Structure 1
Amino acid sequence: MPRPDVDCDYLKAQLERLLAVPSPTGYTDTIVRLVCEELERLGIPYSVTRRGAILALYRGREVEGARAIVAHLDTLGATVKMIKDNGRLELVPIGTWSARSAETTRCTILSEQGSFHGTILPLKASGHTFNEEIDTQPVGWRHVEVRIDADCTDRQSVEALGIQIGDFVSIDPGTEFMDNGYIVSRHLDDKAGCAAMLAALKAMVDGKVRVPVDIHFIFTITEEVGSGASAVLLDNVVAMVSIDNGTTAPGQNSAEFGVTIGMADQVGPFDYHLTRKLIRLCEDHDIRYQRDVFRYYRSDSASALEGGADVRTALITFGIDASHSYERIHIHALKSIAELTVLYAASPVEIARDAEELTGLEGFTEQPIEPAPHSHDDPSAH
């Protein structure tokens, strides 16, 4: 098929909607409802698990040997650990992120009585009071606190508002869409991946794209705490592609343009054959791509394998600067991700035996081990 037509205005609009909804892990009901409403508008059938993971189905010619495309709706955040005597809140993080990235960040406390705004501040925030101590104080979650934008100067006045230990704290996104295509915001990990999935689905619906096997578009809700896709894959799914962020930083090969294809993460290498199929699709359709390996990174693919799924896994990413902080990406990468997603969904099945849980060697894959051409040539002969 030709390179798909991805609606970038739609992609950006969906991303803006997703970023506007607080969804730290454990507080995802609202964003699940938002995505389900959009799937209904697109005419895509879906199911929702008990806790809220979404399994949307784009029907193919065959049910067995199905494929899955996965991204996560949940984000980093925090939980109220303690209401302090000074009327401020001690926090513990949801997910893995540094308190340094939280300092001076605006946030929303999600209490059962309603939401309240506030700011996460270091314990010593004023140079006029603490002088050089603001630069020498330690960094860590015990060294920040939430200043609530309400009249509360002690524990009792905070409790009177209805704020309690265990309440969720969402980090305000501070989203900016730049005219040059850059997007700056918290929580682009992985709401940008979810927006790219929706854009891919729209392109498939609009183009009446035919696919050889069922494609399950899965939106998970617990990736930031490690469980992610561990219990959401149906038994007939044999291959899973995760969409997530790829870190652009010194020592990495990721980029904010095109698709960054993960070859391995901290859990190990991704499936050889599925990964190289995605690379071939990029090459055949002139989609910019680069490869990368991530030392301190895991995705929904890892959680699926650890949950016992016997599936081939791969990772395609949009390059992101300052991951798990105030992040930046470019629309070019999201468009490229959406294009590759459609092309993969429509691509022929190459390993037919994968549809069987257990079978013989017939049709089993091969990996090259022979010496490369000319690898033993005498250099002096040239």
Structure 2
Amino acid sequence: MNLSLNYIVETFSTLANIPSPSGNTTKVMEWVEQELTRLDVPFVRTNKGAVLATVRGTNDEKQRLLTAHVDTLGAMVKEIKSNGRLKLTFIGGFTGHAVEGEYCRIETMNGQAYTGTIVSTKASVHVYSSEGTKQERTAENMEVRIDAKVKNADDVKALGISVGDFVSFDPRVTVTDSGFVKSRHLDDKASVAILFGALKHLKETNTQLPYTTHILISNNEEIGYGGNSSIPEGTVEYLAVDMGAIGTGQTTDEYCVSICAKDSTGPYHYGLRKHLVNLAEANDIYYQVDIYPFYGSDASAALRAGYDVVHGLIGPGVDASHSHERTHQEALENTGKLVLAYILSPELVV
């Protein structure tokens, strides 16, 4: 199971640098379609804007589906303020301190883009002193300082910026000599890159899968309903590939593939979890089993939508989720190896 780790890292970097906050994912989906075409993998675009790719297997009666999402956290312009700055409404689950000081990009309805910086409304210590440090970092107290000569709301509107324009965050992708990958949007573009790495491996080795397997690249996961539709009839196993959460009390680290036992939606399918653990151990893949207390995945969204499937969740361990994220290439590799072991396994849970 020799995955191209360089391809996975390069694919992640490409994806991370294509702005795609939930609700504005057309450009990144176009890249996904181009890469699937290059890999000679058939696909369809769903009405919701997701991409469903299919690799035919020996058995077409019972099928598997793996998903990863390409939408990210982001924001929208909520208000154009009288001082020429922008008030935001956040897209996805994060707090203001996670994006304070971050460079951002405002995309207008006519396709123009402007850069800016997200700052608190009382950022200067020379003006506000401790008042600024005590200020809550909420959307109410954050604003965008636009990189244009604007002094009032009319100046901003003259640029073509309006309420409802999407704001994306600079990912700042960095790959260190020690193997760490530092970037925003590892959740979940790292997993998308891993799935592409698996598809590339299947193509280059001309490997036949035991079961027809679908790859769903969803585009609304961060707002709760990315992978809850367009699941082909015949799918009996549904595996979400998303980030593993790291923090106090967690077993997951930046080097493992994390196998989720339970998140805020409840336990994942016990039989599928045991199968994934057995595959990891049989293939000498470093893994950890964990519980994610404040988390939900496309797999759990599919069950809430009423699909009759067994569901599971795995992913590379990612530190500082929904903030300044970091993982290690070993986590990407271990997750890719488990993905391949799973889709090549002749054993079904149901």
Displacement, 1:139? Answer: 2.2
Instruction: Provide the residue aligned with 1:286 in structure 2.
Output: 284
Matched, 1:50 2:47: yes
Instruction: Provide the residue aligned with 1:73 in structure 2.
Output: 70
Instruction: Provide the residue aligned with 2:262 in structure 1.
Output: 264
Instruction: Provide the residue aligned with 2:211 in structure 1.
Output: 213
Instruction: Provide the residue aligned with 1:169 in structure 2.
Output: 167
CA–CA distance in structure 1, aligned partners of residues 176 and 215 of structure 2: 29
CA–CA distance in structure 1, aligned partners of residues 270 and 135 of structure 2: 47
Displacement, 1:232? Answer: 2.2
CA–CA distance in structure 2, aligned partners of residues 300 and 203 of structure 1: 25
CA–CA distance in structure 2, aligned partners of residues 96 and 256 of structure 1: 22
Unaligned runs of 5+ in 1: 355-382
After alignment, is 131-140 or 176-185 more displaced?
131-140
CA–CA distance in structure 1, aligned partners of residues 214 and 328 of structure 2: 26
Displacement, 1:131? Answer: 1.9
CA–CA distance in structure 2, aligned partners of residues 129 and 27 of structure 1: 37
Displacement, 1:339? Answer: 1.1
- Which one-letter code corresponds to 1:347 in the other structure? S
Instruction: Provide the residue aligned with 2:21 in structure 1.
Output: 24
Asked whether the 8 Å contact 2:316–2:335 carries over to 1, the reply is yes
How many equivalent residue pairs? 349
- Which one-letter code corresponds to 1:155 in the other structure? A
Displacement, 1:88? Answer: 0.4
CA–CA distance in structure 1, aligned partners of residues 184 and 88 of structure 2: 18
Instruction: Provide the residue aligned with 1:91 in structure 2.
Output: 88
Displacement, 1:216? Answer: 0.2
User: What SS does structure 1 have at the residue aligned with 2:322?
Assistant: coil
- Which one-letter code corresponds to 2:286 in the other structure? R
- 1:189-204 aligned within 5 A: 189-204=187-202
After alignment, is 73-82 or 331-340 more displaced?
331-340
CA–CA distance in structure 2, aligned partners of residues 116 and 232 of structure 1: 35
Matched, 1:33 2:30: yes
Asked whether the 8 Å contact 2:244–2:257 carries over to 1, the reply is no
Name which of 283, 297, 301 aligns with 2:299.
301
CA–CA distance in structure 1, aligned partners of residues 132 and 284 of structure 2: 51
Q: What do residues 43-102 of structure 1 show as CA deviations (whole Å, max 9, x unaligned)?
A: 111111023111111110122210011100000000110000001000010011011111
User: What SS does structure 2 have at the residue aligned with 1:349?
Assistant: coil
CA–CA distance in structure 1, aligned partners of residues 193 and 308 of structure 2: 27
Instruction: Provide the residue aligned with 2:333 in structure 1.
Output: 335
Instruction: Provide the residue aligned with 1:107 in structure 2.
Output: 104
| Aligned alpha-carbon RMSD (Å) | 0.9
User: What SS does structure 2 have at the residue aligned with 1:212?
Assistant: strand
- Point out 4+ residue stretches in structure 1 off by more than 2 angstroms: none
Instruction: Provide the residue aligned with 2:243 in structure 1.
Output: 245
Instruction: Provide the residue aligned with 1:7 in structure 2.
Output: 4
Structure-1-length-normalised TM-score: 0.90
User: What SS does structure 1 have at the residue aligned with 2:242?
Assistant: strand
Name which of 136, 150, 173 aligns with 2:148.
150
Displacement, 1:187? Answer: 0.6
Instruction: Provide the residue aligned with 1:233 in structure 2.
Output: 231
CA–CA distance in structure 2, aligned partners of residues 131 and 241 of structure 1: 50
Name which of 38, 57, 73 aligns with 1:60.
57
